[in-house]
Amino acid sequence: MELQKEFENQGNWLFRHRGWLPFIILIPGFIFHLHEQSEEQFPQGKPAIWIYYEYLCLLISIIGLAIRIYTIGYAQNNTSGRNTKTQVADSLNIKGIYSIVRHPLYLGNFLMWFGVALLIRDVEFIIAVSAIFCIYYERIMYAEEQFLKKKFDEQFLQWAACTPAFFPRFKQYQRTNGKFNYKKVLKGEKNGLVAIFLIFFIFDSSGMLVRGNFRYNYFLITCAIVSVIFYLILKYLKHKTTLLN
């Protein structure tokens, strides 16, 4: 099989499984985290610098989620969704955030998981995670662009020629005329919100347990509880009512 076709097949496979594959990284990450925390002794609780560092990591993950929310909210229907079976694109998004970067959703995903990786505080692990995600998303982006190229031909080529794939070029931003679809965001991005706060809460609490230090971070506890309640409410509204249709 030619390399170009192989990359496309790999990208399509990763696209179909992109919802759960990143969680595999959490397993070694969590082990690294527990090992690191077991070697630290903070009898009076964590130094302030590490508490602020955790909040910085959380902020990076939230920025990633915010990019996803902005992208999904302004994306045209039947584009930029959570479909996992096949590629879908009834139209080509070229305005709004898509005028400065071709793959804003994957940029958002990377930042969400990069914030988690930074929690480990291990340079080698952070570099390894970044490299894995680069290869992982490179294949998916390649497959998506092959699909868009076949469907939109010259329109796609002109847009891709002046729009970077992953690192935004802010100076060429073009405002979109569409309205923000908050219902689509509430239905599609509730998973990301609850995942961020639960992961940070679990990492913080597990570190506290292995150190034998029970100084609770009430901010993370509150955020985790609120996000779970919010998730359950949206889950109910989505499946039992028509309010989010």
Mean pLDDT, the chain, whole residue set: 83
Nearest partner of 114 among 51, 59, 174, 41, judged by Cα: 59
**Residue 139 three-state SS:** helix
Q: What is the pLDDT of residues 197-241, one digit of tens each?
A: 999 998 888 777 766 666 778 899 999 999 999 999 999 998 888
Greater pLDDT, 72 or 136: 72
- Comparing C-alpha atoms, which of 13, 52, 1, 239 is closest to residue 136? 13
Q: Are 11 and 141 in contact (CB under 8 A)?
A: yes
pLDDT band at 114 (very low <50, low <70, confident <90, very high): very high
Handedness of CA 149, 153, 155, 157 (dihedral sign): positive
Q: What is the pLDDT of residue 172?
A: 93
Lowest mean pLDDT among 21-25, 51-55, 113-117: 21-25
Residue closest to 237 by CA, chosen among 191, 186, 196: 186
Mean pLDDT, residues 173-202? 90
Q: What pairs with residue 57 in β-bridges?
A: none
> What does each C-alpha distance from 150 to 1, 12, 119, 221 come to in angstroms?
20, 15, 41, 48
Give the model's pLDDT for residue 47.
65
Q: What is the pLDDT of residue 215?
A: 72
The structure tokens listed for 100 are 């400065």
Q: Examine the pLDDT at 21 and tell me if it is beyond 80.
A: no
Please indicate whether residue 41 or residue 24 has the higher confidence score (pLDDT).
24
pLDDT of 9 reads: 73
How high is the pLDDT of residue 83?
Answer: 54
Angstrom distance (rounded) from CA 97 to CA 75: 9
Q: Please provide residue 191's backbone torsions phi and psi, each rounded to the nearest 5 degrees.
A: -65, -45
Q: What is the pLDDT of residue 196?
A: 94
- Please give the pLDDT value at position 194: 93
pTM, to two decimals: 0.85
Q: Per-residue pLDDT averaged across 141-154, rounded?
A: 87
Tell me: pLDDT of 156 over 80: yes
**pLDDT confidence of residue 160:** 92
pLDDT in tens, 40-85: 555 455 667 878 899 999 999 999 999 999 999 988 876 655 555 5
- The yes-or-no verdict on residue 138 having pLDDT over 60 is yes
Predicted confidence band at 107 (pLDDT cuts at 50, 70, 90)?
very high
Measured CA to CA, the distance from residue 43 to residue 242 in angstroms comes to: 52
Percent of the chain with pLDDT over 70: 79
